[in-house]
A and B are shown apart, each in its own frame.
Chain A
Amino acid sequence: MDNKIVNESLIAGKGWFPADVSTFGNYVDSLYSFILWVSVILFVAITIVVVTFVLKYRKRPGYVQPGGEHITHNTKLELAWTVPPLILCLFVFYWGFTGFLDMSVAPKNGEEIHVVGKKWIWQFEYKNGTKTLSEMVVPVNTPIILVMTSEDVLHSFYSPNMRIKRDVVPNRYTKIWFQATRTGNFQIFCTEFCGDGHSQMQGTIRVVSAEEYKDWLANSGSADDGLPLEKLGEKVYSAKGCVACHSIDGSAMVGPSWKGTWGTSRPMTGGGSVIMDENYVKESVNYPIAKVVQGYPPVMPSYKGLLSDREIDGVIAYLKTLK
């Protein structure tokens, strides 16, 4: 059960953060660095004072504790350690807040994409009706507005590289926007716990040039036509979310493994059995709840309208190779 989608950009990047590829990156990263370094300085200062006290006033032979009345108040000192930290905190609050407003208010000229989260795939729909799964293609240097909702439980859309995150809530729309500053493939995670496939609910933001985006949108999906069916099926498996629930090595996940199932008789929930053939696969892609293999929960979302006939043929061809 390897994670097939590895986006190199999550590894790269200066410091501890993944590569910064959006207009928010600089803002968030410098705020982080500021708090980090102030904290480090204060922590070192506290450590020096505590260690000095422990060494200097440690109970040991020959040490006599200074006598006299103990100091229990010092107004100046107490103001000094209350007021400056308060001012520092208010400053950090203001810095964090203004950036948050920028993240919340999307520019008017943005490209709108509808995002649907469901167990356990991301679905993207463009204005011209193009739908994709797990992969979101966006143009570089253009504000992208995501209007998001969920079909089942809470999810959360997280792109570390873009420095954005927002919960995806059923029966409600949430919005977030970003603007990518360079092309490449960037990771999407779900960060609100949503069940067994939560950690597999991943995806990719593919940032391309404006021209490439136009072409892609105009004849979406056709790029796959050149692939042989088996290869297309393998690609669909990892790119369209099948990987979240179906293994190809025989291990049971949320759904049954694909390995060695082709042509076999599959016991069904509620009795009876079905031969795993072309028609069963196609039916299961479009109407997954109709015939569920025994021992597995009826939770697969329908892919009706989300996979082309050729992509379903590809999945069938790929299944045949998994002996």
Chain B
Amino acid sequence: MSLPAVRTDYINATKGWKSWLTTLDHKRIGIMYLLFIAISFGLGGFFALALRMELLNPGKLLFTAKQYNQLFTLHGAVMVFLFIVPSIPASLGNFLLPLQIGAKDVAFPRMNLMSFYLYLFGAVFCVYSMVAGAADTGWTFYTPYSITTSTSVISMTLGAFILGFSSIFTGLNFIVTIHKMRAPGMTWFRMPLMVWALYATAIIQVLATPVLGITLLLLIIERVAGIGIFDPALGGDPVLFQHFFWFYSHPAVYIMILPAMGVMSELVTTFCKKNIFGYKMIAYSSLAIAIISFLVWGHHLFVSGQSDYAAMIFSLLTYLVAIPSAVKIFNWIATMYQGEIDLKAPFLYFLAFLFLFSIGGFTGIMLGSLSLDVYLHDTYFVVAHFHYVMMGGTVMAFLGGLHYWWPKMFGRMYSEGAAFVAWLFIMVGFNMVFFTQFLLGTKGMPRRYYSYLDQFQPLHAFSTSGTWVLTVGFLIMAFYLVESLLNGKQAPDNPWGGLTLEWTTQSPPITENFLDTPIVDCGPYEYDKVKV
């Protein structure tokens, strides 16, 4: 294939940093998001490395108890609010959504840029909190501790409050875009499953995030004005805060995982050259998860002293939300049947998700069980569980998607060999760190402990050593991705043989995405009808 030396694309269409900062192009906004999300991931990862280092032995190694508490708070807050919530929707989603539905841009390009600036603005408050006596409450800000601590809780919660608006704007934009901007012929059931996933995510973003905003605002008001809402010393109710907080934060874990599931559906079809098994089931299960996710928040409160009957209903609903997730896993595996499986880097991350998320799911079944949760609640078992779901699930899918769409975004190929080595390090390191924590949890090791009983030391040390393996993997990845930008081979328009619309335009795409508006006359993955 011969390519002209220089083509006009969205990257070189206009020059200068000003043209980026004022851009209304969804692709450029997606790339800017990607940059800051990567920086946030690095920052959160650095905090994780530091706090795991402290846990190498019981007692003091590098930090005081207070510094350790600040470290795990910053790790959690940065990873949740700055990295994982916006990760797939705001970076990959922003870049892809209009491309996948054959549109020129999102419905409200200015609002899209506004959302990016709100993200930066919120991040400034979070960073300010880090330097001005970082919060030590845990990312959950449980009252009344968060009311009474002298650390800078207000700037951190204000940051999260602003980031919430960024998230709402993105969600609103996506909903309208999906409803109004689809190319001619693209019916709802011809949309790529990534779009379905972004749609379900957007619904949660728009409906749940305001509750977090109100809750954090109430917390700030209580701290500043001393009005009793959550603090019993002022006549408030601390458990009310937990209800409010998890009313957002439980659906929020589906904001984090649903887009990842969308990426998984794209990866499995392209790298197996197969039409997806159970398209409608996957699409509907995204919506089912989005709806049921609003009704399970109480499973974070099984030992909080909430009513036993409330606990019963929350436990039951928790099991119901497990089923659509399991159905998706089975559908993806069935899609592999009689495929032509290409073990490229994106598909390796697909496999990583499949195994790690399954383990996360099975351990979720344990935690959803009332009498077992009494034992496992707030131990390392929970820490391991949510890292298997969030990092083993969302981050693996994010990395898979990043590698999959990298040639489309930057027009460059990366080194497949280096990508395999990095994947291997990440898989080994991840399981060293977090599988060990399941064992710690079943032995009764509580979470958020600065120091611990001597008997836990070998497992803690092993878990910590895993973080170094994990770090090597991510450093290799950072290296070969930057290398590909500088010296990578020029990417063809459709390096993987994908069928969705983004692969029909050039790599990287022109500012307007497509030369002509695409006309859609079939489903997104009909490999049995089309020959690539």
Residue numbers of A with Cβ under 8 A of B are 1-3, 6, 10-11, 16-18, 24, 27-28, 31-32, 35-36, 39, 42-43, 46-47, 49-50, 53-54, 57-59, 63, 65-74, 77-78, 81-82, 85-86, 89-90, 92-93, 95-104, 152-154, 156, 158, 160, 163-167, 169-172, 174, 187, 189-200, 251-254, 297
Contact = CB atoms under 8 A, between A and B. Distances in A.
Contact of B444 (A10, A32, A98, A196): A10
Contacts of A156: 303, 378
B371 A103 contact: yes
Contacts of B274: 70
Contact of A65 (B302, B338, B354, B358): B338
Nearest to B338: A66
A98, A101, A197 interface centre (most CB from chain B within 10 Å): A101
A3 B341 contact: no
Q: Top 9 closest A-B pairs, CB basis?
A: A160-B444, A96-B369, A171-B232, A99-B371, A100-B370, A39-B362, A199-B449, A191-B378, A89-B319
Given A3-B454, A35-B365, A191-B446, A72 B305 contact: no
B369 A35 contact: yes
Contacts of B201: none
Interface residues of B, number: 93
A86 B341 contact: no
A53 B337 contact: yes
B239 A169 contact: yes
Contacts of A68: 528
A71 B305 contact: no
A5 B319 CA distance: 39
B181 to A, nearest CB: 27
Interface string B443-486: 11011111111110000000000000000000000000000000
Contacts of B330: 81
Given A193-B142, A199-B65, A89 B278 contact: no
B343 A54 contact: yes
A254 to B, nearest CB: 7
A53 B65 contact: no
A283 to B, nearest CB: 25
Nearest to A252: B64
Contact of B58 (A2, A97, A154): A2
Given A35-B369, A57-B337, A195-B69, 17 more contacts: A2-B59, A35-B372, A39-B362, A43-B358, A47-B355, A85-B322, A90-B319, A96-B372, A100-B311, A100-B312, A160-B444, A165-B374, A172-B237, A193-B448, A198-B450, A199-B65, A253-B64
B65 A50 contact: no
Contacts of B448: 193, 198-199
B370 A89 contact: no
B365 A39 contact: yes
B58 A3 contact: yes
Contacts, number: 267
Interface stretch (B119-127, B143-151, B217-225): B143-151
Nearest to A167: B304
B439 interface: yes
A253 to B, nearest CB: 7
Nearest to B448: A193
A280 B106 CA distance: 70
A63 B453 contact: no
B148, B272, B358, B375 interface centre (most CB from chain A within 10 Å): B375
B446 A189 contact: yes
A65 B453 CA distance: 56
B149, B273, B312, B355 interface centre (most CB from chain A within 10 Å): B312
A27 B371 CA distance: 9
Interface string B307-322: 0100110011001101
B342, B371, B455 interface centre (most CB from chain A within 10 Å): B371
B340 interface: yes
B307 to A, nearest CB: 10
